[in-house]
Amino acid sequence: MIVVAVVGPTATGKSDLALDLAEALGPERPAATGGPARGRAPAEIVNADAYQLYRGMDIGTAKVAPHERRGIRHHELDVLDPREDSSVARYQDAARADLDAIDARGARAVVVGGSGLYVRALLDEMNFPGTDPEIRARLEARAEHEGRRALHAELAERDPAAAESIGPANTRRIVRALEVIELTGAPYTANLPRQEYVRPAVQIGLDCDRETLDARVEARVARMWDAGLVEEVRRLASPEQGGNGTGLGATAARAVGYAEILAWFRGETSADEARAAIAANTRRLARKQMGWFGRDPRVRWLDAGSPTLLDDALAVVAAADSGSLPRPAEGPVRRSLGA
């Protein structure tokens, strides 16, 4: 069954649309009241937001609360301790296992999130060869004694495309390319991400003009602030949580909404400045996300503010299911926010 992914900038309503789609793509409603649901198995949602993986990071990540999930099963939420560093490779393994299990149950998977790397790791051909300290140390020693141009010449023999892309001046990337070749026995370029789905999928992007999105961001920050974002960060960052004197690891502490309040706690800014910085950085994040997803011609863009949004999204899914979806180059592309 084709995987449906809802992607795009923050504050465009991805979670709401994912819930609506999961309901609509789940069991058919009985014709008469009292009868059992029939037809399809319940659809399930797979999170692709890097920070919603963390337990306790709820308000600042706009995580859908359990009582608001409409009885729909969710995956990849609250699976990491805030002191842990996230790993795209770990996420890929776990989330792909979720997709396998959902498919085995005969259900539809609805992926939702704005973390572009995580979406691609889940849906696309993307390998993580790992590292080997001994191989890397040996290559770094060779680079120091033989010179990086010698290693680049070796790379040109073993993977000409990689050598052309990297160039002779980037020692770190030359070493990494040769390390991957030695680890995998395959060209370095064979392990680079490709826009090729590992299973049938369709991406629905939510587009929004700048002025409207900025207003949505301001409203979201106000709701988060009133809902207790400051206290959430205070609780997570308390030394009692463990770690290196704080309950937030390096990855979690960089999240928009958390980093700015932590700076306020350290006395670097005021409360008002922290709140303004959250809004400004959220707007910046939205533009970055649109740049990421806007470069993928496979994304089918819909107007986030359309009164027929769910029907429009269901039409995209139906076309994908029937194989009648236009080729990416032929379909409409909307990128209102720019890169």
Q: Residues within the annotated binding site for ATP?
A: 8-15
Domains of the chain: 3-125+198-322 (3.40.50.300), 133-190 (1.10.20.140)
Q: Which two tokens stand for residue 223?
A: 């709701």
Half-sphere exposure of 5 (CA within 13 A, CB side): 28
Annotated binding residues, written as ranges, equal 8-15
- Which has more pLDDT, 160 or 335? 160
pLDDT digits 0-9 by tens, 54-104: 999 999 999 999 999 999 999 999 999 999 988 999 999 999 999 999 999
DSSP state of 80: B
Show the DSSP H helices in 80-190 as ranges. Answer: 88-104, 116-123, 133-146, 148-158, 160-166, 171-184
Banded pLDDT at 328 (limits 50, 70, 90): confident
73 torsion bin: left (phi>0), alpha (psi -120 to 50), beta (else): beta
The proportion of the chain whose per-residue pLDDT surpasses 90, expressed as a percent, equals: 83
- pLDDT band at residue 238, thresholds of 50, 70 and 90? confident
Which pLDDT band, with edges at 50, 70 and 90, does 242 fall under? very low
In whole angstroms, what is the distance from residue 262 CA to residue 246 CA? 10
For residue 193, name the pLDDT band (cuts at 50, 70, 90). Answer: confident
Could you tell me which residues are annotated as the binding site for substrate?
Answer: 10-15
| Location of structure tokens 């370095």 | 188
